[in-house]
Structure 1
């Protein structure tokens, strides 16, 4: 994007980034309802894996990196901590709670803890922290490992 075009719509780069974060949060809020409706369909591991890959994409990874390094940006975001990732965790927590209600997640499992674990691990994995960007099978393997104690036995 040309600098002139940017400044026609946004006074600063931080204004652009704040708008981008707000757009991502709105999209996650919309997706939360549709994800809740997916409870009881497909496999829990498959759905969670797809959600992680689709929501923790390169743009979100970049936003998180910028927010960590730019106090001027972080101070303007809806949450003072990491952007977007808490909303992804909230979305997954709601989904996992719905699956728990259907008996596809163990009754004793804590959806909030599982969701935060999945988002933290997913962020590291999808950011290439383990050496390379993962394929779908690698994401599913990590999700299954994180959920193994919460998934009912055969």
Structure 2
């Protein structure tokens, strides 16, 4: 069970994220946003609803759908479709548009070779973690590593 300070810090991070939108910050919207921010993968409205019920929130499934739609219209949430056993289902995740424009680059620490990473899922997950932990990501992240050419050389030494 989270400590009260942890819960308070999480709610503040959620409010900070929601301030990007003109939507009024309400308890229900904050609770829905908190559930989305805890999940790096897209989740359905039903999952959001069940988690809210598990935490004692008094909210209806219809309200969850309405809040998700408002957040989607306002650019806070991205809606996608996912095939499930019951057919096609809408799933939601936080909108990480800033993450899509970020540059992630492996840079060999021996020869300097660079390889740009173009992975929207990775970018969105990093953005989600950054938001949850209260970090601001720089526009470019360089990851020191060894390229395939330099790895055998390093093993010989």
Between structure 1 and structure 2, the one with the greater Rg is 2
Q: TM-score, normalised by structure 2?
A: 0.30
Of structures 1 and 2, the one scoring higher in RCO (CA 8 A, sep 6+) is: 1
